[in-house]
Amino acid sequence: MKHTRKRMQQAFCIILVIILGLASRKYGELLPGWLAVYSGDILWGLLVYLIVGFLLPKQRIIHTALIAFVFSTFIEVSQLYHAPWIDEIRSFKLGGLLLGYGFLWSDIICYLTGIAFGAFVEWIYYTKTNI
């Protein structure tokens, strides 16, 4: 489906997902077990999807999702690399949030879940507004 994303809506969603992601880390003990463990990574995948959509507003939903998934997977695989310079970046809070600390297969599934959720919601939104 061809459409152009509205950047103000994208920016609002990006800010909202950042707040939710940080809250899931800070207040994770208040969430049910599996949600506490995986919500941050699912929201990270959704955030990447939203950022790609913000940067490429005319990109098709499927292409946006593929770009976000490749990027997210690249970041996760990069966590297998532990040179001193990149571990120094990861030692800072923001660096750790962006680059992660250690490779987990479950993170890739979480990213895919967040990206798929974002693509599905966007598809529903643009299907309903173009009827």
The mean per-residue pLDDT over the stretch 36-52 comes to 94
The mean per-residue pLDDT over the stretch 77-102 comes to 83
Share of the chain above pLDDT 90, in %: 56
Q: What is the pLDDT of residues 5-19, one digit of tens each?
A: 999 999 999 999 999
Q: What is the pLDDT of residues 100-119, one digit of tens each?
A: 777 889 999 999 999 999 99
How many CA atoms does the CB half-sphere of 112 hold within 13 Å? 6
Q: Residue 12's closest CA among 50, 45, 48?
A: 50
Q: What is the pTM of this model?
A: 0.87
Share of the chain above pLDDT 70, in %: 97
Whole-angstrom distance, CA of residue 28 vs CA of residue 33: 9
CB burial of residue 122 (10 Å; 0-12, 13-18, 19+): buried
For residue 96, which amino acid is it? G
Q: Which tokens is 62 given?
A: 């499927």
CB burial of residue 123 (10 Å; 0-12, 13-18, 19+): middle
Whole-angstrom distance, CA of residue 113 vs CA of residue 125: 18
pLDDT band at 1 (very low <50, low <70, confident <90, very high): low
